[in-house]
Amino acid sequence: MVNKKYESWKDIKGYKGYYQVSNHGHIRSVPRVLTDGRVLQGRELSQVSNGNGYLYVSLSSGNKSQHHYIHRLVAESFLLNDELLPEVNHIDGDKSNNSVENLEWISSQDNKNHAFETGLREANSYEFENEIVTDLLRGHHRNFVANKYHTAIVSIDRIIERRNIVDKIYKPNRAENVNKYRKYLTEDDVNEIRKIKSKSNLSNAKLSRRIGTSESTTSIILSGKRSGFKAETYHKVKKFINEYKVI
């Protein structure tokens, strides 16, 4: 429970004499006398969630009413922002905890990183592609990078493939490491294998023997699912397509 004994209040910029914000994240209207002589009593305003956990209040000036987020009102009133940073971060990850001790001015990039680290947000691997590539080139394992950015291993592998950095990540003299990297067949590759199977009237078992893969792997290939394969399997399939390609 917040100890209101240590609660301090400041006028909200643009609403002086109308509304105040406290260092505990509360908003109140200020008692005032209206032009017609009526006395308007001050009260604490109800706060509303925006659906994503952030709380806001509606403040009125003249005939206009506008929503304002609590964390920004607190930060703008109680925290210095000498570096002119654009965003306000909840240090403990709790968007409803708008006490000034839980807030800090932060850059957009650092705010995103904090959201991923605290599990508030899942990463878009493409949004963080450059950072992912940097970590991989520094020698960090794919699992570590995937966990750091809260994304799937398959997304990391696609970045590796698209940026063509597999040889820079895995040592060429360690074939077992190269085989951990998963490569993807294109839709044209899959269609070509299907054509070969149909024209040759091959069963899955015979097709598997010709390719050099297991029947379960062949079934996955024929299904057209975007499944990754070890480099050894991938190259077997590509070699088979080149040798038996249907004109």
The CA distance from 25 to 77, in Å, is 11
Domain membership flag for residue 122: no
Task: State the Cα–Cα distance between residues 141 and 148, nearest whole angstrom.
Answer: 11
Two structure tokens written together for 79:
């925290």
Q: Please state, in angstroms and rounded to a whole number, the distance separating the CA atoms of residues 95 and 72.
A: 12
Residue 22 lies in a domain: yes
Same domain, 54 and 19: yes
When mean pLDDT is compared across 27-36, 71-80, 90-99, 118-127, the lowest value belongs to: 118-127
* Separation in Å, CA 129 to CA 109, 157, 204: 13, 11, 38
Q: Check whether residue 61 and residue 32 sit in a common domain.
A: yes
37 — alpha (psi -120 to 50), left (phi > 0) or beta?
Answer: left
Given this model, what pLDDT does residue 2 score? Answer: 47
Residue 124 lies in a domain: no
Residue 100 near residue 74 (C-beta atoms within 8 A): yes
Question: Are the beta carbons of 59 and 68 closer than 8 angstroms?
Answer: yes
Residues 193, 213 within the same domain: yes
- The CA distance from 159 to 155, in Å, is 6
pLDDT over 80 at 45, yes or no: yes
- The identity of residue 103, as a single letter, is L
27-36, 40-49, 55-64, 157-166: least confidently modelled range: 157-166
pLDDT reading at 56 higher than 70:
yes
More confident residue, 115 or 15: 15
Domain span including residue 24: 8-73
Domain finish residue from 117, 143, 169: 117
Task: State the chain's mean pLDDT as an integer.
Answer: 82
Residue 1 lies in a domain: no
Is pLDDT above 80 for 167? no
Same domain assignment for residues 178 and 189: no
Q: Is residue 148 a contact partner of residue 115, using CB atoms and an 8 Å limit?
A: no
14 in the same domain as 67: yes
- If asked whether residues 189 and 227 sit together in one domain, one would say yes
Per the structure block, which two tokens stand in for 62? 């003249």
65 shares its domain with 82: no
The answer as to whether 2 is a domain residue is no
Q: What's the pTM? A: 0.48
| Domain shared by 110 and 144, yes or no | no
Residue 126 confidence (pLDDT): 63
Q: What is the DSSP letter of 210?
A: H
CATH code of residue 237: 1.10.260
Task: Identify whether 102 is part of a domain.
Answer: yes
The answer to whether residue 26 is domain-embedded is: yes
209 falls within a domain: yes
How many distinct structural domains can be found in the chain?
Answer: 4
Of the residues 117, 139, 169, the one at which a domain ends: 117
pLDDT at residue 1, rounded to an integer: 42
